[in-house]
């Protein structure tokens, strides 16, 4: 089964069994960075769905934060150790194994050089970079304590932002139901803004 199908299956299962939302939230946030799955399929669908469930009061915001932060923190840490083990030279020789292109590596390196320590915080908000970043941080032999500090802060900021997104989606849907035309226009604008953000993130024009 392809990754896209696995995510869709997870989404459908969560809709039927919301009590398992936090489990899938932890699983996919870990896999996205822990196994570099984010290169092919970001875990945003699961995060957004779980965040909407939080806004509806179906799952606890604290459970959402705990599972999401723990998953992405551990995923980043695992990928950091993989990068630390391989080192920069070995990584370049094994690009195919990691399904990475030289262009992705070079642009992520430039992002790290430009943003410095803030790269660990900001990188999570950029698709693809989110998955590659901890691997390269590990190859650069950044001290574990320093990495862990910024990793935790980044995890808190990234996961928390989805609670705001979930609330926004829930309120937008309520407006659509109450004020059909205005709501549809508002939803269309927000959706277009989201598409623009995804496009710029994937093309890494934020560099």
**Mind listing the pLDDT tens digit for each residue in 161-184?**
888 887 777 666 555 555 565 656
pLDDT in tens, 57-79: 888 999 999 999 999 999 999 98
20-32 pLDDT tens trace: 888 988 988 898 8
- pTM for the predicted model, two decimal places: 0.74
| 3-class DSSP state of 108 | helix
CA dist., res. 50 & res. 64, Å (int): 7
Distance, CA of 117 to CA of 154 (rounded, Å): 11
Residues 6+ apart with CB under 8 A from 187: 172, 173, 175, 176
Q: How far is CA 144 from CA 57, 81, 82, 113, 152, in A?
A: 37, 9, 13, 18, 12
Amino acid 166: pLDDT: 78
Domain boundaries, the chain: 3-202
Averaged pLDDT score across all residues of the chain:
78
Nearest 5°: CA angle at 9, between 57 and 193?
Answer: 65
Q: Residue holding tokens 């900021």? A: 157
What's the length of the chain?
Answer: 207
Q: Are the CB atoms for 168 and 190 separated by under 8 Å? A: yes
The residues, any chain, with a CB within 8 Å of residue 205's CB and separated by 6 or more, are none
């Amino acid at each position: 089964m392809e990754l896209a199908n696995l995510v869709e299956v997870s989404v459908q299962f969560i809709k039927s069994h919301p009590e398992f939302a936090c489990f899938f939230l932890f699983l996919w946030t870990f896999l996205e960075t822990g196994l570099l799955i984010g290169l092919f399929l970001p875990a945003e669908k699961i995060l957004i769905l779980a965040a909407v469930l939080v806004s509806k009061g179906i799952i606890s915001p604290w459970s959402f934060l705990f599972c999401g932060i723990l998953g992405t923190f551990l995923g980043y840490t695992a990928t950091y150790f993989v990068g630390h083990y391989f080192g920069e030279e070995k990584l370049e020789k094994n690009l195919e194994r990691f399904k990475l292109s030289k262009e992705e590596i070079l642009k992520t390196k430039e992002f790290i050089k430009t943003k410095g320590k803030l790269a660990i915080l900001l990188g999570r908000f950029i698709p693809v970079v989110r998955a590659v970043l901890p691997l390269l941080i590990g190859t650069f032999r950044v001290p574990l304590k320093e990495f862990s500090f910024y990793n935790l802060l980044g995890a808190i900021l990234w996961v928390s932002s989805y609670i705001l997104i979930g609330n926004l989606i829930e309120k937008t849907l309520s407006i659509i139901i109450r004020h059909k035309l205005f709501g549809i226009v508002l939803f269309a604008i927000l959706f277009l803004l989201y598409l623009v953000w995804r496009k710029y993130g994937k093309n890494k024009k934020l560099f």
